[in-house]
Amino acid sequence: MKMIYYILVALTLGIVLSSGCIQQEKGSTIVPNTTIVPNITKPLTSNDEIKVLPEQTNSAQQPPSSRIDYSHEYPASSANVNGFEMKKTGSGFVVYYHPGDETNANKVLAILEQGGLNLYKKYLGFEPKDIPVYLAMSVDEYVKIADFPGGKENVAVGDGSAPNGKIYLYKPFGENIPGKTGGVIIHEGVHAAAYQYFGQDKMRYLPGFLNEGMAHYLEYIFKAGPKFDPLDQIYHSDLLIDGIETGSPKLLSLEELAQKCDGYINDETLNFLCRGQGTYTVWYINENYGEGAMGKFLTNLKQTQNWQEALSNVTGKTTSQSGQEIQDRLKLMVEQKKR
Ligand SMILES: [Zn+2]
């Protein structure tokens, strides 16, 4: 009897120790890679389940922002573009900056090349090439070169914008809000990448609320990981919750969002609704139709030049059916949150 007990103890210890080893070894050998995602539809042997799934799940859910290697040095060279004297070149982006701003330029490029490129490829289905990024050191310079429609009084340190496929940043990493610049860079990168993908003439077929939605969606994945809680992360999601609970502000249908959310929006509530509902819509599409769904939608949109048709091709439903489902799901989430 005692013998059996010892054997059992030894076996249990062996399992615990060896599984600890497996975890550690994987932790140190697996290179962080956003493309490794557990594929739950693929049948796994029980062996696969024990060895592979837990570690991959953890690594896939880590926010990409935590994996940027800022010590990687991108070479600098001289430039003469829009009054910028220096540049650092990656594969997807070229950062233009003034002398003295080299550390920031290197950080900006690290975020775009190491974080942005993977995210854009995985969630949008395309990789940008040679997109210019300009680092403005004063608010006057920023408003002027970015042709920012909101004017100086609406610019804060760490802000950015991406008109016509170019990215402009105002004093990146100078802000007091932790992580702001990183999110802004990934966000503006989405706008610039989408502009490059569609081109100037076809860009208008992408509704503003989906353009903003994709940009915020990837911004939150970058900061909080792919399983972020929309009611927690979405900027001013309290408005969405109020809309569901009290009917004010009234949430917009997908058609209304497409009509009202375009260009620079001065009305604050409408602006937050466009961004909030836009992000939540993109989140919902990814949750329900898989992480390649937005990429399929964008490919479809480029061909059909009709966002409703492109969305239906991905979801198999009409826009109003999808709109209703999206609001129903939001209602359920708000109710669950209250419990
Ligand atoms: Zn935006």
pLDDT of 58 reads 67
State in Å: Cα 208 to ligand 1 middle.
9
Q: Please say if the pLDDT value at position 133 is more than 60.
A: yes
Could you tell me which of 151, 156, 186 has the C-alpha nearest to residue 171? Answer: 156
State in Å: Cα 136 to ligand 1 middle.
18
State in Å: Cα 34 to ligand 1 middle.
23
State in Å: Cα 184 to ligand 1 middle.
8
110: tokens are 């690290």
Residue type, 294: M
Q: Which domain holds residue 84?
A: 70-205
Among residues 29, 61, 93, the one where a domain terminates is 61
SS3 category, 163: helix
> pLDDT band for position 149 (50/70/90)?
confident
State in Å: Cα 250 to ligand 1 middle.
22
Q: Please say if the pLDDT value at position 26 is more than 50.
A: no
pLDDT of 239 reads 95
> pLDDT band for position 39 (50/70/90)?
very low
State in Å: Cα 238 to ligand 1 middle.
19
State in Å: Cα 62 to ligand 1 middle.
24
Question: Domain check: are 193 and 212 in the same one?
Answer: no
Average pLDDT, the chain: 86
User: Helix/strand/coil (H, E, C) string of 268-286?
Assistant: HHHHHHHHHHHHHHHHHHH
Question: Domain check: are 191 and 232 in the same one?
Answer: no
Total length of the chain: 339
Mean pLDDT of 49-71: 72
Share of the chain above pLDDT 70, in %: 83
Residues 314, 140: contact at Cβ < 8 Å?
no
Share of the chain above pLDDT 90, in %: 77
State in Å: Cα 23 to ligand 1 middle.
39
CATH number of the domain within which 115 lies: 3.40.30
pLDDT top residue among 305 and 46:
305
State in Å: Cα 161 to ligand 1 middle.
7
| Dihedral angle sign, alpha carbons of residues 266, 269, 270, 272 | positive
Question: Domain check: are 158 and 36 in the same one?
Answer: no
> pLDDT band for position 235 (50/70/90)?
confident
In which order are the strands placed within the sheet that holds 84-89? 76-81, 84-89, 93-97, 131-136, 167-170, 160-161
Mean pLDDT of 79-102: 97
C-alpha dist (Å) from residue 180 to 183, 187, 317, 333: 5, 11, 37, 27
State in Å: Cα 220 to ligand 1 middle.
13
State in Å: Cα 215 to ligand 1 middle.
6
Query: How many domains does one find in the chain?
Result: 3
C-alpha dist (Å) from residue 18 to 7, 14, 28, 111, 147: 16, 6, 15, 36, 60
Residue type, 220: Y
Beta strands in the chain, from DSSP E residues, in sequence order: 76-81, 84-89, 93-97, 131-136, 160-161, 167-170
> pLDDT band for position 252 (50/70/90)?
very high
Cα 285 to Cα 61: distance, rounded to the nearest angstrom = 19
pLDDT of 61 reads 82
> pLDDT band for position 42 (50/70/90)?
very low
> pLDDT band for position 222 (50/70/90)?
very high
Question: Domain check: are 35 and 57 in the same one?
Answer: yes
State in Å: Cα 43 to ligand 1 middle.
39
Question: Domain check: are 196 and 236 in the same one?
Answer: no
State in Å: Cα 163 to ligand 1 middle.
10
> pLDDT band for position 17 (50/70/90)?
very low
Question: Domain check: are 262 and 291 in the same one?
Answer: yes
State in Å: Cα 49 to ligand 1 middle.
40
> pLDDT band for position 52 (50/70/90)?
very low
Q: Is 304 exposed, middle or buried (0-12, 13-18, 19+ CB in 10 A)?
A: middle
State in Å: Cα 5 to ligand 1 middle.
63
State in Å: Cα 211 to ligand 1 middle.
7
> pLDDT band for position 131 (50/70/90)?
very high
State in Å: Cα 188 to ligand 1 middle.
6
Cα 145 to Cα 189: distance, rounded to the nearest angstrom = 17
Other Cβ atoms within 10 Å of 253 Cβ, number: 16
Mean pLDDT of 146-158: 91
Question: Domain check: are 282 and 240 in the same one?
Answer: yes
Mean pLDDT of 316-329: 97
pLDDT of 53 reads 44
Question: Domain check: are 242 and 333 in the same one?
Answer: yes
pLDDT top residue among 127 and 9:
127
> pLDDT band for position 77 (50/70/90)?
very high
CA angle 76, 80, 81 (to 5 degrees): 105
Could you tell me which of 134, 91, 97, 138 has the C-alpha nearest to residue 116? Answer: 91
Cα 244 to Cα 237: distance, rounded to the nearest angstrom = 11
Q: What is the pTM of this model?
A: 0.82
State in Å: Cα 187 to ligand 1 middle.
6
Bridge partners, 169 (sequence order): 135, 160
